Structure 1
């Protein structure tokens, strides 16, 4: 054989061997990146879950259209957590151990989240929790891009005290981690600022009759009412029954989202709320997000809201973390999640403050058509020291 042919064949063999080695080394990364979404398709969160699923679908479409994550397509794996602890255990067992997803991005009740965290930790899965919640839930594998009480309570209470002259407050909520956590924080904030809580009552998360509690509110004559229920169905039930009583004191809802408000229409009219996302936020990124939702879902689009928009952002935060880490390796991704940011509809979001994110908060009042009028905006509100022991 001629010398140049020998050299050519040797070089070709080396290239083929290198390609085989690369294929072997990265064979596990050749397939799609699977992201699990556990959400309450049934139960208390079933009112808001469809919007959360839609925003997840839009995010995946946009990421895949731009080439995926580190060259790999993204696939959704959606599981119903039934909005409760038992359902969450089943959903997470499936996502983590049967489906072996690469990460989980989920909007859930606090009961579902608390049940899921031990499973996430055992399976070592990066987890972005996208719901607003009662705060101070900490786990090595979890980051949060929703608001916490340190960011959300002050706008409502301060407005009632300063603009409405409120000195006495009645607090009502659902009897689980979110309701109690939110109202305990609110009660302490009210007391620290010279107000007084004249009643604090709870209804089970699956309870539907608020009549006895509303009777107590009428008897107490508070200057203002503040509620913290599970998002969705409990919000609707309480608002309808409150309206039917004819009570007229200012009502601040710490758990309502714009989508639920629009679905409720006039029932929610006059209610005050505080949040980090409203469809009326005048940013270029928000207009692009809303246009994308309308184009993809048309007349089937659910109103984007405080519970669905952070879900959309979280996919891009995960994408940025994987790209910074250079792989989907869980340990590397978890570290990177605290170092990346995303310029989204709510402006810049970065989970770098004790695994939570500073947010621009909006104080709004719900109008007769379910839209929300922005009364005040508070920029870059710090979430406080949520998880000091986790670095």
Structure 2
């Protein structure tokens, strides 16, 4: 009898081991990351990749998603439309990823959306952008103009007595969209835009633009360039030209600001994420990033932190419906939430998310001092016609 019981126990253990082995042997969940490893976004891409790697490492250490390991598929979208089409085609139809989580330029996003529609793959867009980009498969956890512009403009009007503004941007959907919204907001508040200039996204010589700013003599300058290289070239050339007027940058992130050195000092910005956010969740995130990457760490920022939390939003959605089936996961993304470094984030407002925004000013060491916080700012009616 004892021998039988012993054999039974051994058989049960063997059966459980087989079940466990089967679960771990299941195909991994592939999540695609399309990002500008080359081109305009190459300045910020390394931080985005790092935050993606940390999220996947943490999720896998905690058992993965639905008991399955998560694997990253990282591809270069070259920061533009042609590169994005190739990148998304590779991820959707060759790599057959379960979802795409991507920080991209607006040009790249717009070019990728038809492929997302065709492949019916869940797509979390993690970049701040000009707003009102809608697709049945896409959700957004970055800020839009309705959340980001007011803190900078209102501060200049009230604290800097600014009445006239000059707007500068890159000549594509983000630059045009952001500054169109900004101009309307300035005029609604009683200010006046006395100049607007745009440079192609791959342009780097701002000499003629700076000359026009100098001639116009505005009270304040606001820019909306592609994140990364254009921010750096514009800021350095403004500093080199001796421009000292109040400068609000609607596209700067903390990581890029730190790479600029003295060129960014004094610049104003509005952000949903800054490393100085004083919460346990943010301190835990920054500590984990520092531990994992050490001296190779790229400054966590407005473009990389939303990338990190998007993996947890996807995990929450998949586990809510008990599946990675896109048809089930896509609607569940609106119900998924994550309490992370920025606070609790849920993409439940026209497939966008309410966010707490921080008005900040870049300091001499590249850090950002938070001047004021605006809690739970609504993104407005971004995609009212999508369920």
**Residue in structure 1 matching 2:123, options 123, 127, 152:** 127
Structure 2: 5+ residue stretches without partners: 1-10
Deviations 1:310-366 (A, max 9, x none): 000000000000000110010110010001100000010000000000000000000
| C-alpha separation in 2, matches of 1:306 and 1:116 | 22
Quote how far apart the aligned CAs of 1:30 are. 2.2
Quote how far apart the aligned CAs of 1:191 are. 0.6
| C-alpha separation in 2, matches of 1:284 and 1:35 | 28
Give the equivalent residue in structure 2 for 1:312: 308
Quote how far apart the aligned CAs of 1:90 are. 0.6
| C-alpha separation in 1, matches of 2:380 and 2:339 | 22
Give the equivalent residue in structure 2 for 1:355: 351
Question: Does residue 150 of the first structure (1) align with residue 146 of the second (2)?
Answer: yes
**Residue in structure 2 matching 1:117, options 104, 113, 117:** 113
**Residue in structure 2 matching 1:97, options 87, 93, 96:** 93
Give the equivalent residue in structure 2 for 1:67: 63
Question: Does residue 346 of the first structure (1) align with residue 342 of the second (2)?
Answer: yes
Give the equivalent residue in structure 2 for 1:379: 375
Moved over 6 A (4+): none
Question: 1:196-345 maps to which residues of 2 (within 5 A)?
Answer: 196-345=192-341
Quote how far apart the aligned CAs of 1:248 are. 1.2
Give the equivalent residue in structure 2 for 1:188: 184
Deviations 1:198-246 (A, max 9, x none): 0111000000000001000000000000000000000000000000111
| C-alpha separation in 2, matches of 1:350 and 1:329 | 20
| C-alpha separation in 1, matches of 2:172 and 2:320 | 37
Quote how far apart the aligned CAs of 1:265 are. 1.5
Give the equivalent residue in structure 2 for 1:32: 28
* Aligned residue pair count: 370
Quote how far apart the aligned CAs of 1:107 are. 0.2
SS in 2 for 1:305: coil
Question: 1:148-187 maps to which residues of 2 (within 5 A)?
Answer: 148-187=144-183
| C-alpha separation in 1, matches of 2:307 and 2:134 | 19
| C-alpha separation in 2, matches of 1:268 and 1:338 | 37
Quote how far apart the aligned CAs of 1:169 are. 0.3
What is the TM-score with the length of structure 1 in the denominator? Answer: 0.93
Deviations 1:74-124 (A, max 9, x none): 000000000000000010110000110000000000000000000011001
Give the equivalent residue in structure 2 for 1:45: 41
**RMSD of aligned alpha carbons:** 1.5
| C-alpha separation in 1, matches of 2:289 and 2:244 | 37
Deviations 1:281-327 (A, max 9, x none): 00111011011101110000000000000000000000000000110
